Amino acid sequence: MKSTTDAICRRAQAGDPSAFAELYGMYAKELYAYACAILKDTQDAQDIVQETCLKVYTHINCVQSPERCKAYFFRVLSNTARTYLRRKSLTTIHTELFENLSAPEDTAGIASARADLQSALAALSDEERQIVLLSAVAGLRSREIAEIVGLTAGSVRAKLSRALQKMRGYLAVREEHPNEM
């Protein structure tokens, strides 16, 4: 699939609009999920994903190598969302995984687990939260995340490991003392 994605990116860079549409189709769900997670509003997420796609479409030639196309989409999305949040005078990136995306059969237990996960994410620093979300929601590798956040891949792996450990600790305490937090 990687070589197929690379070929599609090259076609998009050559000006083929259908190739860009294919790229968008490949990444749309992940872009939307990540945007929902950092913006905490589904309508804002849709707007930011649309704005991101327009920016990527007009600057697709900035992708230096086709295998980094997905990372480029997420870097542009991250920057666009950060700018949007700044404009709204928000000081932190808010998270909420899959807000308003729960299925009708969503039980109280799942809703409680989702709330616990959201609380654990909120306990992280902005940078840690961004790294965790880029890894878990967008499925990016440490090298790709490093490009987006401006760190080395080793630093991303270390920060991701520490952030996940913090979340495990938070969730373990939450499980032991559910009414105290």
pLDDT tens for 82-116 read: 888 777 643 333 344 444 444 555 566 677 777 88
pTM listed for this prediction: 0.61
Find the mean pLDDT for residues 52-59.
93
- Return d(Cα 65, Cα 100) in angstroms, integer: 36
Instruction: Write down the domain spans for the chain.
Output: 2-176
Q: Among 10-24, 85-99, 108-122, 132-146, which is the least confidently predicted range? A: 85-99
CB atoms within 10 A of CB 22: 18
Find the mean pLDDT for residues 13-36.
93
The answer to whether 71 and 148 are in contact (CB under 8 A) is yes
Look at the block and give the residue holding tokens 């490991």: 161
- Return d(Cα 179, Cα 95) in angstroms, integer: 22
Each residue of 155-179: pLDDT tens digit?
999 999 999 999 888 888 877 776 6
CATH code for the part of the protein at 2-176: 1.10.1740.10
Q: What percent of the chain has pLDDT over 90?
A: 43
Cα 23 from chain centroid (whole Å)? 17
- Return d(Cα 102, Cα 42) in angstroms, integer: 12
Q: Is 92 left (phi over 0), alpha (psi -120 to 50) or beta?
A: beta
Tell me, what amino acid is at 157?
Answer: R
